Structure 1
Amino acid sequence: MTHTQATPTRRMTLKLDHIVVLGETLEEAVAHAEAAVGLPLVPGGTHERYGTHNHLVGLGDLYLEALAIDPGATPPTEARWFGMDRFVGPARLANWVCCVPDMDAAIRALPMAGRPVELSRGRLRWVMAVPEDGVLPFDGLFPALIQWLSPVPAGAILSASGTRLDRLDIIHPDAATLESLLAPHLEAPRVVFRTAPAPGLRAEMIGAGGQRRTLQ
């Protein structure tokens, strides 16, 4: 049984859905995100399958998620998503997530994204592409792919914060290759690929009063 309805006439697109700050603890992830954004994050919930929990804040047409392993959860029997089993060090902006209209078509076009996994939290339902070892290609900087099955996705539920994402830099030694893989499908003009020795992400945001903020 497939996870999605096939829509062969619909072009496979990737649109920026949200960005993810990881921390060794949720408190660290939230503190790092709040210091950069200048806004409080609200509790999200838990993800039983991967033993994680999160907090969230809206950034206009997308949102920011602070995510960490839940110490009170039962450890999963498979690798956690976002390479979290290997995450160490200070909290940081570690991942970006793109929404797709058809996960089966997305994985056919970009098989390195992983396998489809159905997930839910409260009234939210979605399908995520997760690699077998949990680690996304390009040192984790390949976008995680999501297809929302809920009529209203997570980002639309969050209150408007007045802060919006202006630019997201994807920084990697082989940024040109990553860009060429995604270019036929990516519809995210705020995403910029930059070549540099050390991989990482950098988000430039504009607050309600016009002040600029940076999250890395």
Structure 2
Amino acid sequence: MAEIDHIVLGARSLEEGAAFVERHLGIRPRPGGQHLGFGTHNMLLGLGRGVYLEVIAPDPAQPDPPRARPFDLDDPALRQALEAEPRLIAWVARTPVLEAVIARLGHRGGEVVAMTRGDLSWRMAFPPQRQDMDNLIPALIQWQGEGASSRLPDSHARLLQLEGEHPEVDAVRAALAERGLEEALKLRPGPHARLVARLRRADGVEVALASG
């Protein structure tokens, strides 16, 4: 029903985010573009077939958007955390039947919004705040035509595994199962919510990016 599309690294600025990725993965992400009307812009790094890393930051060239920026970028606690350094903040799952999934989930699935960047277009649904289990439940995306990953050169870095920790791990597991994502996130109990992406660099070195 759904599968991992990309992981999301938040940053105060794209330059800070790109430098962080280059330092940890040994390669710099390439420019993406603006999300007009949403107050953000991004850079991207291909992680092999169908998967990529997105660096996202507030776009100083845009006015404040009418709604909160995606992935809690306007949340004061996250903004304070990003003052220290960029960090993994979310992941996104791809589905070919977004409307059907959201219809089944009801209000728990969130509102479907149309987004564009250049000639790419997609529809996306973000879980309502406080129902995303601290971003362990992914936003869902349905690409209209080819997706962003198909246009990215292969960095030869690979996403090996996504992991999650949460004090209510059974609730997270149930919410993922509703979306057909039982196998996408390796879950374990923990005192605080935490998302971890384990990656292998092109040189074979394994690294972890985490939300905290």
| TM-score, length basis structure 1 | 0.86
* Residue number in structure 1 paired with 2:110: 114
* Residue number in structure 1 paired with 2:68: 79
Most deviating of 42-51 and 137-146: 137-146
CA distance in 2 between partners of 1:49 and 1:132 (Å): 19
CA distance in 1 between partners of 2:181 and 2:68 (Å): 30
* Residue number in structure 1 paired with 2:205: 211
Which residue of 181, 185, 191 corresponds with 1:197? 191
1:181 aligns with 2:169: no
1:184 CA displacement? 4.7
Contact kept in structure 1, 2:127 and 2:137, CA below 8 Å: no
Q: Deviations over 1:27-46 (max 9, x none)?
A: 22222222222211100000
CA distance in 1 between partners of 2:110 and 2:184 (Å): 25
Q: Deviations over 1:121-178 (max 9, x none)?
A: 1110100113566x7621222101100012x210111001111111111222112211
Most deviating of 103-112 and 47-56: 103-112
Contact kept in structure 2, 1:16 and 1:188, CA below 8 Å: no
Letter in 2 for 1:122: G
1:39 aligns with 2:27: yes
Give 3-state SS (helix, strand or coil) of 2:23's partner: helix
Letter in 1 for 2:187: F
CA RMSD of aligned residues (A): 1.9
1:23 aligns with 2:11: yes
* Residue number in structure 2 paired with 1:57: 45
Runs of 4+ in structure 1 deviating by more than 6 angstroms, as ranges, are none
Letter in 2 for 1:179: R
Change (3 A) 1:100 1:35: same
* Residue number in structure 2 paired with 1:157: 151
1:190 CA displacement? 5.1
Between Structure 1 and Structure 2, the one with more helix by share is 2
1:194 CA displacement? 1.9
| TM-score, length basis structure 2 | 0.88
Q: Identity percentage over the alignment?
A: 37
1:138 aligns with 2:133: yes
Letter in 2 for 1:103: L
Most deviating of 187-196 and 64-73: 187-196
Contact kept in structure 2, 1:83 and 1:136, CA below 8 Å: no
Change (3 A) 1:17 1:188: farther
How many residue pairs align between the two structures?
A: 202
